[in-house]
Amino acid sequence: MSIGVDLYNFFTGKLQKERKFREEVKETYERSVSDFSKQIDLIAADISSATGCKVLVIIDDLDKLDLAVVKSIFQDNVNALFSPNIRVVFTIPISVIREPQIYSSLVSRSKIILLPVMKFFSKETAHVEQAEPIEGNVAMLAKIVEKRLPEHLIEPQIIRQIVLLSGGVLREMVRLCYQCCQECLLTLDLEPDTPDFKIDDVILAEAVKAVRNEYARPIGTQRFDLLAETYRNFRPPNAESEEFLELLHGLSVLEYENDDLWYDLHPLVADLLRRQNRI
């Protein structure tokens, strides 16, 4: 290479001056993506021979981008992205592959593996009162809570409620647990003489209230109708509309998988709609 940066020497050298380096990479390879992927192949080969291991690259954080930006990355650069001869895992949010054009670019060049949300109910029983949840799945998430919260600090049936209220989303389950702990600390702060207590119904109710209000904020009043319709039909009127994809991205709507896909509201969002008599 006559100009610009030598990617290979850079990686085998020191990883400093990252910002300047990025600019140089852009300048050098902007017009010649094939050179770029050759360089990546060389680096991978070097790592393989040095370590005796195969190389796996994980590209995370694409979910932070606006849908429009993700679109241009995958649609306009699909060849470049998949040209190096190494294994790459891109983590992308479900809302991205629900965009038909991106989906077709991706599916032609890669294998899409869907990591669905943990499901507690089948579509048939999802809105049935007193329906029995899928116990194996509940137990799996319950174990995570049990590992994080000592037994003497939480009542067992509360763990189950927390799991079910998470809608199967791990991060939101952790959020609820964290909120419960904050509520306990608040109680101790307001009433320092309270004897030993556990995370119970009262604490959970306060935690749920706080998280539910946080869910309400980004939804905005205009989207409640769309949510109500999604709830009633297990699918939105238009699964490709930007409005719906944003709700999916924000976890107000969750996607579940059976033989076909179906959608449901996050339990706390369903709760919001129930309070407004919309469902």
Partner 1 sequence: MSQLKLDTTNRRAFRKLVVAIKTQPQRLNLLLAVCDDLNLQAQLIDNYETELQDAGIGTYHTRLSHKRPSLKAALLELVERESALRAGDPAVVTVLNAGELLGVRLTEEKSEQEKFFFSLQWTREALRQFNFPIVLWLPDDVATRLAQRAPDFWSWRSGVFEFAGNSNRSVSMSGNVIGSTLITGDNNVIGDSNIINFSSQIPIADLEQQIATLTKASPESPLLITLHNTLGEAYERKYRYQDALAQYERALKHAEFHDDKNGQARSLRNIGDALQDFGRLDQAVPYYRRALVLDQTLQDWDGQAATLNQLGNTYCLLGQHSQAIDFYQQSLETARKIGTLQGAANVLGNLGSVYVSLGQHQQAINFYQQSLKIAREMESRQIEANALGNLGNAYCLLGQHSQAIDFYRQALEIDREIENLRGEAASLNNLGWLYRLLGQYPQAIDLFQQALEVARKIGDGRSEAYPLLNKALMLEQFGDISGARSHYEAAKAIFSDLGLQDLVKRCEAAIQALEE
Q: Which is nearer to partner 1, 5 or 265 (CB)?
A: 265
Shortest separation between residue 215's beta carbon and partner 1, angstroms: 9
By CB under 8 A, name the one of 78, 86, 97, 210 that touches partner 1: 210
Q: How far is the CB of 100 from partner 1 (least distance, A)?
A: 22
Per CB under 8 A, 135 contacts partner 1? no
91 belongs to the binding site for partner 1 (CB under 8 A): no
How many CB atoms are closer than 10 A to CB 122? 14
> Is residue 279 within 8 Å of residue 273, measured between CB atoms?
yes
Q: Site for partner 1 (CB under 8 A): how many residues?
A: 21
Residue carrying structure tokens 């101790």: 188
* 124/113 Cα distance (integer angstroms): 25
246 forms part of the interface with partner 1 (CB under 8 A): yes
Does the footprint of partner 1 cover residue 241 (CB under 8 A)? no
237: contact with partner 1 by CB under 8 A: no
- Start-to-end CA distance of the chain, whole Å, equals 64
Instruction: Report the residue number, 178 or 197, with the smaller CB distance to partner 1.
Output: 178
Name the maximum alpha-carbon separation found in the chain.
75
- Cα distance between residue 195 and residue 207, in whole Å: 20
* Residue 92 token pair: 């992308």
For 129, which DSSP code? T
* Spacing of C-alpha 89 from chain mean position: 15
| Binding of partner 1 by 213 (CB under 8 A) | yes
Q: Binding of partner 1 at residue 261 (CB under 8 A)?
A: no
Q: What are the beta bridge partners of residue 154?
A: 199
Return the residues of window 39-78 that contact partner 1 according to CB under 8 A. 61, 63-64
Residues 153-192 within binding reach of partner 1 (CB under 8 A): 171, 178-179, 182, 185-186, 189-190
DSSP-derived letter for residue 131 is P
For partner 1, the closer of residues 116 and 220 by Cβ is 220
Measure the CA–CA gap between 106 and 215, rounded to whole angstroms.
31
218 belongs to the binding site for partner 1 (CB under 8 A): yes
Q: How far is the CB of 268 from partner 1 (least distance, A)?
A: 14
Are 52 and 23 in contact by the 8 Å Cβ rule? The answer is no
Q: Using CB under 8 A, list all residues that contact partner 1.
A: 61, 63-64, 171, 178-179, 182, 185-186, 189-190, 210, 213-214, 217-218, 220, 246, 249-251
